[in-house]
Chains A and B, each alone.
Chain A
Amino acid sequence: MTTATPERSPVPDVSGRLTVTRALSLLGGVPFLGWLLGGLAAVLAEYLFGLPLALALGLRRIPVLFGFEVMLKAPRYIPGTLVYLVLVYLIPAALVALATARVTDTLAARLLRSPALSMVVHLALLYASIHLWCGLSDYRYLVGRLALIAVMLTLSLNVVNGYMGEFSCSHPGFMALGAYTASVLTVLFFVEDDVFGAPLLPPALGPFFFPLALVAGGLVAALGALAVAIPSFRARGDYLGVITLAFTFVVKSLFENLEIVGGPRGFMNQPNWAGLPTVFAWTVVCIAVINNFVRSTLGKALNAVRDGEIAAEAMTVDTRRTKIVAFLFAAFWAGVAGGLFAHVVSYINPATFGVQKLAEVLAMVYFGGLNSVIGSIAGGLGLTLFSEALRPLEVWKWVIIPVLLVFVMANRPTGLIAFREFDVMKLLGPRRGRKEGSQNVSAQG
């Protein structure tokens, strides 16, 4: 574990002339808490002054996705949009983050004494920003939820493909199992539907049972994962890749033949319970659980299996148990993500869970970075938002994104942020005067 670089100027010095290097070193002194505050300030600024400012700059409305959707469609709005972005996001965020750096740094150090409290404070700030940001537009609200779900999918696939080093193609299948199970449960119990008839329970209870439906979806997906986990004892690498691909084809064909859930016509009427708080909460739980999992002994066993199965076996790693746990675990979270996805879109059909979805999820994992929780967060959020932002390019969007990915892979073959441990306590801690005590806390992580 490295300590904070000592040569960094510890005290924000605003009195002297500002130079670029100094500014950068100043920014490095801001703890995560400060950035969260800055982000909240930016979002607040947009909330309060966004619309009048946009109108004053000659824009028609607030640029929702960082201005991409405006600038790509009408180049004449580029100057206005850029100024808007600087005025609304950059300046308030940087100003607040810098101005409060001293306070937040002390606060972060204080908070770290009670890790749970620190988490709660950080999450609350983060959620507040996201909530305000998404609340400004229904479009953001939808895209934001889809992006969070993509993070869950990416992260769970990374457990198998990154940490365990297999090439699994079965994620669309797991997602389908979870999506259909959760949908059938909620529709059967809480919705008036022409296939399943009147609700069995009062719909008002629904939102409370929704987590149960999601967990059930995850469990069914995990059960399905046995079909690929057991062959993985003997088959490895490429052969396992084909087994998992066959699994995806089988699941898709299965749902095409299940008339009760609509066959290829799809299944609809899922109640609209997957709001932003729900999706956010599940994503946070997913990240926390997976992060703990990959940093546990079992997680290290995954890496051992990847780097040398025979050696791992020799060092008393139970490879079978490791593989089964990894697959079931990944499938569970893919299933939960699938259930959330079904309730966000309110419609699913088997064709959604085919090779196209597979290519998308794989792209997010490898783009973000193998063997890295932060990488998966970045990959899921980044690719979803980016592909949404490029929507105005129509057909060319799907030329630009893959070319960009080929470029990324050629330069960083394991992804943008690969093989990095996600140490939450280190992230939440102060930036200066890092003490031994805080490191001990983080080591327990």
Chain B
Amino acid sequence: MAYLLQHVVNALQWGSFYALIALGYSMVYSVLMLFNFAHGDIFMVGAYIGLFVATGLLALGSAGAVALPNWAVLVLTLILAMALTSVVGMLVERVGYRPLRRAPRASAALTGLMIGITFETLNLALLGAKRRSFPALIETTSYQVAGVSITNTKIMIVVISLLLMLALDQFVRRTKWGMAMRAMAVDIFVVPLMGVPINTMAALTFALGSGLAAVAGVFFGQAYPVLEPYMGMLVGWKAFVAAILGGRGSVLGAALAGFLLGFIEIFVAVVFPSTLRDLIAYSVILLILTFRPYGFFGEPYSARLRL
């Protein structure tokens, strides 16, 4: 029992990363209808920005200039990383995606892929191939509850991820901005006629999605403190899987699908020999989508799909 519970806890933590990244992915995807394949690499950029902010703040502290307690450093790191990564996200939108708004969606997907590769290689070229270690901002303590070991970082990550998902869901459903976004998802060409500034809205969407990626990046740095230029590549593709699995237009669905993906990956490794993990996990996803071809919360295909 404790053994199973332990796996559930593990899956919750791993799933919360997929969920956070898929959330940002799904934001852009739901509103602008485009595959933002650069999202995994924006997540990487967010993690690196977080790393530089955190080490900078810690260095300031040890130099005696402004000594901050570690939790304050974490909060500041989160805020600054979110802000800076949002700027990066808006730049990506402006340079890469805005010219393609009327183009086939797959072309935008390619642009995303290429922007992602640019980020990866630019990082490699400028910072070198060395791995970076993210400073631990929170002293990790393990609790043993009924034979299950949980760390405070794990709890924090899962709780904050859930809170962010709920907040985003409320934002999209309750605010005027959110309403404009949902309207854009329905018809991006009519919405401007209603007085919605779609360029601003698109930038805002990207800012939000990238900010979420930055949160994921900083937390990732806390849980798995080895950063490298290609860290976002595979995660990005898997977030794509989660976002689609959740269904188009459903932010909460993407988050839930992120958790689901985490659970599938972990429990397949538990039940079967772990060498077969990808084989079985992705066969399961293939089957799910064969029988539920619109994801879990998506709406059926309609004629408004371009391309």
Provide the residues of chain B in CB contact with A247, threshold 8 Å.
282, 286
B104 and A413 contacting across the interface, CB-CB below 8 Å: yes
Known: A241-B244, A246-B241. A235 touches B289 (CB 8 A): yes
B96 and A395 contacting across the interface, CB-CB below 8 Å: no
Known: A395-B121, A414-B107. A402 touches B114 (CB 8 A): yes
Q: Which size bracket describes the interface of A in this complex?
A: 35 or more
| A426 at the binding interface (Cβ < 8 Å) | no
| A243 at the binding interface (Cβ < 8 Å) | yes
Stretch among B153-161, B185-193, B200-208, B299-307 lining the A interface: B299-307
Stretch among B12-20, B137-145, B220-228, B232-240 lining the A interface: B232-240
Q: Which size bracket describes the interface of B in this complex?
A: 35 or more
B104 and A410 contacting across the interface, CB-CB below 8 Å: no
In A250-283, the 8 Å CB interface with B consists of 250, 252-254, 256-257
B125 and A310 contacting across the interface, CB-CB below 8 Å: no
Could you tell me the distance in whole angstroms from the C-beta of B56 to the nearest C-beta in chain A? 26
B100 and A245 contacting across the interface, CB-CB below 8 Å: no
Q: B interface, by DSSP: helix, strand, loop or mixed?
A: helix
| A349 at the binding interface (Cβ < 8 Å) | no
B286 and A246 contacting across the interface, CB-CB below 8 Å: yes
Known: A161-B106, A243-B289. A236 touches B244 (CB 8 A): no
Known: A245-B240, A253-B279, A395-B124. A167 touches B109 (CB 8 A): yes
Known: A253-B279, A359-B117, A406-B115. A231 touches B289 (CB 8 A): yes
Known: A308-B303, A399-B125. A242 touches B241 (CB 8 A): yes
Residue on A nearest B286 in the bound complex, by CB: A246
Residue from the list A236, A252, A355 in contact with B305, Cβ < 8 A = A236
Q: A interface, by DSSP: helix, strand, loop or mixed?
A: helix
Interface centre among A238, A362, A402 (most CB of B within 10 A): A238
| B195 at the binding interface (Cβ < 8 Å) | no
B279 and A413 contacting across the interface, CB-CB below 8 Å: no
| A370 at the binding interface (Cβ < 8 Å) | yes
Interchain CA distance A308-B96 in the complex, whole Å: 28
A242 and B290 contacting across the interface, CB-CB below 8 Å: no
Provide the residues of chain A in CB contact with B301, threshold 8 Å.
236-237
The proximity string for A residues 408-440 relative to B, scoring 1 for CB distances below 8 Å and 0 otherwise, is 011101110000000000000000000000000
In the A-B complex, the 7 residue pairs with the closest CB atoms = A413-B103, A235-B293, A253-B278, A402-B114, A253-B279, A410-B99, A398-B121
21 contacts between A and B (CB under 8 A): A167-B109, A231-B293, A234-B290, A236-B293, A238-B29, A239-B295, A242-B245, A249-B278, A249-B282, A257-B279, A355-B233, A363-B114, A399-B122, A399-B125, A402-B121, A403-B118, A406-B118, A409-B100, A409-B108, A409-B114, A410-B100
Residues of B at the A interface (CB closer than 8 Å) are 29, 35, 95-96, 99-100, 102-111, 113-115, 117-118, 120-122, 124-125, 233-234, 237, 240-241, 244-245, 248, 275-279, 282-283, 285-286, 289-290, 293-295, 298, 301, 303, 305, 307
Given A227-B286, A237-B307, 10 extra CB contacts under 8 A: A161-B106, A236-B293, A246-B283, A370-B107, A395-B121, A395-B124, A396-B125, A398-B121, A402-B117, A413-B104
